[in-house]
Amino acid sequence: MNALNKLYSKFHGSYFAFIGVGIAVISTTVAINSLYLVYPKIDLLSLWMSDLGASPCGTFFNISIIFSSIFLFLFILYYTRFLSKSNGSEVLIRLTLIFGFLSCFGLFLIGLFPVKYIGEASIEHSFAALIYWIGSLLFWLFLGILELKNPKISNRQSIIALITCFFWIFFLLYLVLILMFPILDSSKFPQWLVHIILVISLTEHGLYCRKKDKNLNFKS
């Protein structure tokens, strides 16, 4: 923990949100472009995002996802400690941190056990994705509740977190509907949409944390 305190005393925790999101966006963009170079007529929305791991730049994409998950967890850890300093509920903070860890751990495993062929996911990869999806939904749900109950945190933050949670619910419902109506599997738009919302929400939370918490002391 002392090592983390030293890290946070030198680099504000919000930077890790920007770095994590930046790595994910850049690697995704590179992987998409490399895919279009080989398959110029491919329908991107017909692919799962994990299929980018099987693109010509798939190795770069998968390694980047691993690093992104680490930086994002460093931000989540910092942000929950920031909320703790703002008199947030310790029980909710622990639950939020646990689900935040599961989300990032699932993302880490997705990069560690990537898709090798487009449209073909291993059992390990599918299990990692499930951890990531459920962990993300519960993280944003509990974060939204935690922010809503904290009088020192803007209600806007809880609204953004709960909207993000809503999109995760929408995505998971879409997965259930695929099992009932396989024709819906032709488009993966809900997954791309929820990750666009995720990028916006993480960036906004990083900016809010940076603005409101410039002098949080982690020296002890």
Q: What is the pLDDT of residue 85?
A: 83
User: Alpha-carbon distance 29 to 20, whole Å?
Assistant: 14
Q: What is the pLDDT of residue 219?
A: 42
Two structure tokens written together for 106: 């699932």
Strand partners, 117: 120
Q: Of 171, 62, 67, 186, which Cα lies nearest the Cα of 125? A: 62
Dihedral pair phi/psi, residue 120, rounded to 5°: -125, 105
Q: What is the pLDDT of residue 217?
A: 46
Q: Of 194, 177, 197, 196, which Cα lies nearest the Cα of 185? A: 177
User: Alpha-carbon distance 164 to 37, whole Å?
Assistant: 33
- What DSSP character marks residue 183? G
Long-range contacts of 82-85 (CB under 8 A, 24+ apart): 82/13, 82/209, 82/212, 82/213, 82/216, 83/146, 83/147, 83/150, 83/153, 85/213, 85/216
Q: Domains of the chain: which residue ranges?
A: 13-212
Q: How far is CA 152 from the centre of its chain?
A: 25
Residue pLDDT tens, the chain, 220 long:
677 878 888 888 999 999 999 999 999 999 999 999 999 999 999 999 999 999 999 999 999 999 999 999 999 999 999 998 877 688 999 999 999 999 999 999 999 999 999 989 999 999 999 999 999 999 999 999 999 998 889 999 999 999 999 999 999 999 999 988 888 788 899 999 999 999 999 999 999 999 887 644 444 3
pTM for this prediction: 0.92
